[in-house]
Chain A
Amino acid sequence: MNSYKDYVKWDRMPTTWCGGCSIGMVFKQLTFTLEQIQMPKERLVVVSGIGCSGRAAGYFDVDSVHTTHGRALPVAEGIKRANPELNVVVFSGDGDLTGIGGNHLIHTSRRDTDLTVICINNEIYGMTGGQMAPTTKRGAVTLTSAAGNAYYPLNLQGLLTSVPRHFYARSSAYRINHLQKCIKEGLGWKGFAFIDVISFCIENNGRRLGYKNGFEMLDKLKADFKINTDPSGPLAANELGIIQNENQKS
């Protein structure tokens, strides 16, 4: 029996993450989920890109790969294709996966490679100081959108459900039971599973937006998002849930 603690490299603690950061909350839910499904450690590989979330790979007590910026998906795909026996989890941020790695996201999902992607979507480039990301809300002031972001954020749900066979889940760092359910189903999904975890960055985004601490940002997630347990169509902007399509025929 593995405890969630067995999946953590304790000699690497404390993490590099700031107090009040949401990445650790998601990291923890992933380890809880690994315990629940008793994921064999020797069959698990965690891959990440660059950024605060990218550091997570090194905190798992399994073989892990911390790649270059944006390249977690192709490295993970190479691993999975070379050894389909391995369970490959990609743990990375929105800037890494949808910005610099955006092309890989389009095509790895199109190829429906059997990966579980956990995207810490904090709507900002946190590690580099707080520049706007492809996911930053329109109008938001960041270091590179001083007058407010002029662009609409990327529609990740739309992108990822555009492939006939798909698994797209949206959860949040606040709804931890829901997050665990999404991760569990994502790990069980044979194909490309993308879990968009709405998160936050207090130090390099939240304070500029007027939040005093991480707790306030967490509270905002609680207020803003509600769970839709049985979505009949695409999730509304304020909904958390799982959109999946087996599409066996295609």
Chain B
Amino acid sequence: MKRLIMGNEAVAMGALEAGMTFFAAYPITPASEIMHFLAKEEGRIVFMHAEDEIASMHMAIGGSLAGSRSMTSTSGPGMSLKQEGIGLAHMMGVPMVVINVMRVGPSTGMPTLPSQGDILQARYGSHGDYNPIVFYPASVSECYVYIQQAFNAAEESRTPVILLLDGFLAHLAETVDLRSIRVPRKKRTLPPLGKGTRHFTGLLSKDGIPQTKDTEYYRKWYAGYKKRVERVADKYAYDSYLPHPDSETLLIAYGITSRVIRPLRKEYSIYRPIRIFPVLEERIRDITSRYKRIIVVEMNDGQYRGELQKILRRDILGVSILGGTINLREVKAKINELL
């Protein structure tokens, strides 16, 4: 049976389907519907309306440590506040999911028009070196799928996995047949608190004992952590590629932007990463090598373009759609200016 649901609802439903039993958040548009939906589940799941974004992030960490699949959701300004806890969860190895429904920033910016301005924040927003897995769906049914995959990747990598949405996708209503979508669920990987003598700490530690002056050990630990995440990320290498036989130009877009530019597939090849971090390096290197020109279309000032330039070490053109409004005509005009 098909149902008309919006992106935020699909995320909440997908989380329940993934076995999430702990949710903590703080109200913020355009992410609040996730919270409203899950508030009705209170009793069946632990639902915490926290005093702030920092608390909700850390409650979710506690919930996960105690044995629940846990999640928090927010938008850009709240994401900035969660970054402290994201670093902690990476250091302690806590599986959980963080949702960021992006709106125009910086700061309060343009609530609640959509943007893709937190791409780099999702990758680099916490402190120190870390290597997050980030998914970005482009339809309501994909919201339902990739929230579940985010939980799976979180379990396997024992890290906080980020699901990015934008205000557009979050509020987009589409008909979806949820029952036709089945995502196998990964087992819990972190034994719950109690019964053990483990010590979880944000300090660099070895078997629970802080190693705060051991450079060699840090290097070894970091290499192992990075490899662990990459190995898991490899299993979740989602993307989509629509090649056009006559096109010398490849358009790269993700999330809602990829939806908007879809009609351009009649003229250009289009590549869309879904697991946007770690960047699908080999795949993108391979595909882009076939094209004379690469244009990244995104609702920010070239954030993902910079990342790709760094990896491909070649000039990449960019179409930036700023200020929370996007339409195909404007994208087309800007592409034509570049060609």
Contacts and interface: CB of A to CB of B under 8 A. Distances in A.
Interface of A: 9, 11-12, 41-45, 47, 50, 57-58, 61-68, 71, 73-83, 85-86, 103-104, 106-107
Contacts of B59: 74-75, 77-78, 81
Contacts of A47: 62
A75 B199 contact: no
A152 B210 CA distance: 36
Interface stretch (B28-36, B63-71, B268-276, B315-323): B63-71
B200 A65 contact: yes
B85 interface: yes
A52 to B, nearest CB: 13
B22 A103 contact: no
Given A58-B210, A63-B197, A66-B200, A75 B61 contact: yes
Contacts of A81: 22, 46, 48, 59, 62-63
Contacts of B21: 82
B196 interface: yes
Interface string B147-181: 00000000000000000000000000000000000
Contacts of B202: 50, 66-68
Which 3 residue pairs are nearest across A and B when measured between Cβ atoms? A78-B62, A82-B66, A74-B58
B66 A83 contact: yes
Nearest to A48: B201
Contacts of A86: 66, 193-194
A63 B51 contact: no
A64 B58 contact: no
A74 B50 contact: yes
A44 B195 CA distance: 8
B242 to A, nearest CB: 43
Contacts of B54: 71, 74, 104
Query: Which of A76, A77, A80, A86 gathers the greatest number of chain B CB atoms within 10 Å?
Result: A77
Contacts of A58: 199, 201, 208-210
Contacts of B67: 82-83
A62 B46 contact: no
Tell me the interface secondary structure of chain A in the complex: helix
Given A63-B195, A67-B202, A82 B62 contact: yes
B62 A64 contact: no
Contacts, number: 138
Given A74-B55, A103-B51, A9 B197 contact: yes
Contact of B62 (A42, A68, A75, A85): A75
A65 B199 CA distance: 6
Contacts of B57: 74
B120 to A, nearest CB: 22
B331 to A, nearest CB: 41
A197 B323 CA distance: 53
Nearest to B191: A63
Nearest to B88: A68
Contact of B194 (A43, A75, A77, A107): A43
Given A58-B210, A78-B65, A81-B22, 15 more contacts: A9-B199, A65-B65, A66-B200, A68-B87, A71-B55, A71-B58, A77-B48, A77-B62, A78-B24, A78-B60, A81-B63, A82-B62, A83-B66, A83-B193, A86-B66
Given A58-B208, A74-B58, A63 B196 contact: yes
A79 B63 contact: yes
A75 B201 contact: no
B51 A107 contact: yes
B208 A79 contact: no
Contacts of A41: 197
A50 B24 CA distance: 23
B52 interface: yes
B62 A74 contact: yes
Nearest to A42: B195
Interface string B61-90: 111111110100000000000001101100
Contacts of B61: 67, 75, 78
A85 B194 contact: yes
Contacts of A83: 66-67, 192-194
15 contacts: A43-B194, A57-B199, A57-B201, A58-B201, A62-B197, A71-B85, A71-B88, A74-B50, A74-B54, A74-B55, A75-B58, A77-B62, A80-B66, A82-B46, A82-B65
